[in-house]
Structure 1
Amino acid sequence: MGARHLYLVRHGAADAFGELTAVGRRQSRLVGERLARVPVTAVWHSPLPRAAASARELARYLPQARTSEAAELVDHVPYVPPPDEMPRSWAGFFDGWDEAEASAGRRTADALVARFASAPDPAVHGSDDVHEVLVTHDYPIAWLVRHALDAPPARWLGLSSANAALTLVEYRAGLPPTLAVLNDMAHLPTDLRWTGFPGPARP
């Protein structure tokens, strides 16, 4: 039985209008260079411009891979905790979030997991491994990591990714997912790391 190797990439740095910046394009090309050694067959990206542009830059280094949009990768809040699960420091973030918005986000999150977070279908892929890149946003990556760890739904909060960081989750039939790499920025020079994170300088 083959394994699915899911390479999760947060889009490169973007401006206040959600468009990829020159820094973001460079970051995306560097993660593409890193993945060029991997037999990637598909690059999936969010419909939003910053992710679509990042995928185009990255895919230059993966000429064997098809590049396609996946609606499930759109930026969304995957789970709004009820009051008894709500970390106090996050209460303001969810202030005013209504039931319809919360339900829509959870449906998108469930669809994301259903489409990508599983071992490959042997009827389609035989015993071959599958290598796919998902170019998406901070929250969907957090949700997929939370799912891989079988953590409580509210635990997606606080699982953050830097722009163009790489996370790798592997799925094999009959086994729990393997979180092999998390928020790895080894392909980025020091001045391009930790963008997309608020707060103090990082190591």
Structure 2
Amino acid sequence: MATRYLYIARHGDADAFGNLTDTGREQTRLLGQRLAHLPIDAVLHSPLPRAVDSAQQLNIFLSGGAPVSEAPELIDHVPYVPKLEETPPSWVPFFDGYDTDEAEAGHNIAESLIARFAGAPDGADDIHEVLITHAYPIAWLIRHALDAPEVRWLGLSSANAALTVIENRPQLPPSIVMFNDMSHLRPDLQWTGFPKTLRP
């Protein structure tokens, strides 16, 4: 049974201008080392500079045979703007000001993300793809894999360069193998991309 293996990661730590920091480059190189033994067919990344640079950094450690290319579906976007009655109170200010056209555009990107990456392979061979993207698209892919309500992308957060793995097989629900795994990162490189607070 052919399987699509998605190795999904948020870009490395970035500065206020959206460029990778030294920490972000180190994080993505460690991610590349973790993935180096896998038969990666393609590395796809968001068009934003922090994702482009992350893909280049981790690819240093891959076999070199996998093409690295941009996938517009991986762009940073809000995948679903919830109705007021389904919005947690703490999120209400975040969505204030989203107009209908903006919300629809984000949702269309989210649907194209699912259409492109969340299905089983068409042929008989396995596919191994690395996706370098952002926290919200990762949350949307996890929500879809769980067949959860659309609003449940809220609260699914990913650290920089953390690894999420989803497997898609024909006629079976997606399998979430891991989510937000940081075991390839030293303790001082973990939990970036989250608000400052106590961490385990």
Partner of 1:171: 168
Counterpart for residue 83 of structure 2: 82
Match of residue 188 from structure 1: 185
Q: Specify the alignment match of 2:157 in structure 1.
A: 160
Who is 1:28 aligned against? 28
Distance in 2, matches of 1:9 and 1:201, equals 23
Deviation at 1:128, TM superposition (A): 1.7
1:92 match: 93
Q: Distance in 2 between matches of 1:189 and 1:139?
A: 24
Does the alignment pair 1:128 with 2:125?
yes
Q: Give SS of 1:91's match.
A: helix
The one-character-per-residue Cα deviations of 1:73-110 (angstroms, maximum 9, x if unpaired) are 00000000011211111001001111111000000000
Which residue is 1:9 aligned to? 9
Q: Aligned partners of 1:177 and 1:156: how far apart in 2?
A: 16
Query: 1:19 aligns to what?
Result: 19
Instruction: Give the secondary structure class of the aligned counterpart of 2:120.
Output: coil
Off by >2 Å, runs of 4+ in structure 1: none
Query: How big is the shift at 1:64?
Result: 1.9
**TM-score, length-scaled by structure 1:** 0.97
What SS does structure 2 have at the residue aligned with 1:29?
helix
Q: Structure 2 CA distance, aligned partners of 1:26 and 1:199?
A: 20
Q: Unaligned stretches of 5+ in structure 2?
A: none
Once residues 86 and 35 of structure 2 are traced to their aligned partners in structure 1, the CA distance between those partners, rounded to angstroms, is 38
The corresponding residue for 2:38 is 38
Find the aligned partners of 1:160 and 1:128 in 2 and give their Cα distance. 32
Q: How many residues align?
A: 199
For 1:118, the equivalent position in structure 2 comes to 119
* Counterparts of 1:183 and 1:170, CA distance in 2: 15
Listed as ranges, the gaps of 5+ residues in structure 1 are none
TM-score, length-scaled by structure 2: 0.98
